[in-house]
Structure formats: C-alpha cells, structure tokens
Amino acid sequence: MNGYNPVEQTVNEILRAINPSKEDWTIRFHIINEVRAVIESIESLRGATVEPYGSFVSNLFTKWGDVDISIELPNGSYISSPGRKHKQSLLADIIKALRKKGGYRRLKFISNARVPIVKFEGNFNISCDLSVNNLSGQMKSKILFWITGIDSRFRDLVKEWAKTHHINDSKSGTLNSYCLSLLVLFHFQTLKPAILPPLVEIYPGNMADDLTGNPK
C-alpha cells in the first residue's frame, strides 16, 4: 500500500470546489455593507445595526451560500424584541428602500413566515434574507462557529452530503441546515472516542444573558 486513497482524494477535490475563496468572503462583506447603507437611509430604523448570522457567520457556507442578516434595533436589549406587526412594518420599509435604491432582484416580502423576512438578490447573484432582531439566529451561528474551530471535519460533513441526498431543503419538507448541523454534531459527540465535547463544555454560560448584558 502506498497510502493512496481514491475516496479521500475525491472528497478533497469536492471540498476544494465548494469551499469559499477569499473573493467569496469579500463579496459577502460587500453585500452586508450595501445593506447597511440602505438601512441607514430609513428613518424608522435610525440607529439600527446590521448583523450577519447563519452559515456565513458559522463558517459553514459554500461558494453558493446565501447571506442571512438581522437588523438589530437600538432598544438597549435584544430580548425586548418588537412585536410581530412592528417587525412586519419595518421590513415593509426595508423592501421599499431596496426598490428605491435599485439593483436588487427577486424582492419578496414573506410576512407570514414564522420569522418574517425580506428576500432579494443583489449584483453578485447571492440570495439574502433580512429579518429583525433575530437573536436566536445569531446565538446558533456563534455556537456553530466555535464548533467548526474545534475540528474542521464538522464543517466538511454538514451541507454537501445532505444536498447530495436531497435532504437539505426545509421548504420541501426535509431538514434545514441547522438541523443537519445538530445531527453531525451529535454524531461527532457519540463516536468512541468522541471528536466533540458536550455543548455545555463549549459554552457553559447563558448566551442570551451574555449577549444582552443582563445580570446572571
């Protein structure tokens, strides 16, 4: 045996093809900055910040991955979140501002989703989802980012295997990316020996309190 492993070589070639390049990172930062400029022009969102989350933040995105963005309101606390109708009203203002600026395609306001969002594509054909005060999305993304730093194999397993087997589309009744990440995480935790530790060892505190500055 000369150590040549055709399966491993094939996997590495696939990963090289799908993993984002420096340019892919730059494009997404550019998209986020463009959205930030639009938000700053909206009177009802004066003082709001633009915070990416999802696969881009957790470092689980591929070359074709979308960008999830949360518009955080300047209310001093993520937990004191605006009601659903208020979020819908703010997202309506956002989609009007995007249309006014121009250059955005496939603009769609999904107001009745569990988490109301505005969807669009910009100059780079990257799909974007905008929501308001999405604390849970930011928390999940940060935890997954820490996990990818522990063992890079976690990142490599999560999405492409699922896409190959057509089970990575929640709209068609299969699993979303976060659920797939949890399945891979559990697999890594239950191997003997375990590759990843229990989540409480990764983050022993209360993330919601830590993010909002609430006393413990």
Share of the chain above pLDDT 90, in %: 41
Task: Please work out, in degrees rounded to the nearest 5, the angle formed at the alpha carbon of residue 164 by the alpha carbons of 163 and 168.
Answer: 20
CB atoms within 10 A of CB 28: 20
Q: pLDDT at position 214, please?
A: 53
| Residue 69: predicted pLDDT | 96
- Count other Cβ atoms within 10 Å, centred on residue 154: 21
pLDDT of 100-145, one tens digit each?
999 899 999 998 888 899 999 988 889 999 999 998 888 889 889 9
Whether the link from the prior residue into 193 is cis, omega within 30° of 0, is yes
Listed range (33-42, 120-129, 184-193, 201-210) with the worst mean pLDDT: 201-210
CB atoms within 10 A of CB 178: 18
Give 69-86 pLDDT, tens digit per residue.
999 998 654 445 578 899
Instruction: Examine the pLDDT at 210 and tell me if it is beyond 50.
Output: yes
Distances (CA, A) of 169 to 59, 115, 165, 166: 19, 17, 11, 7
What's the pLDDT score for residue 96? 95
Q: Report the pLDDT averaged over residues 170-177.
A: 70
At residue 78, the pLDDT reads 45
Q: What domains sit in the chain, N to C, each tagged with a CATH number?
A: 6-134 (3.30.460.10), 139-212 (no CATH)
| Residue-level pLDDT at 27 | 93
CA gap 112, 106 in Å, rounded: 18
**Residue bearing the bigger pLDDT, 30 or 63:** 30
Q: For 68-125, give the DSSP string.
A: EEEEE-SSS-SSSPPPHHHHHHHHHHHHHHHHHH---EEEEEETTSSS-EEEEE-TT-
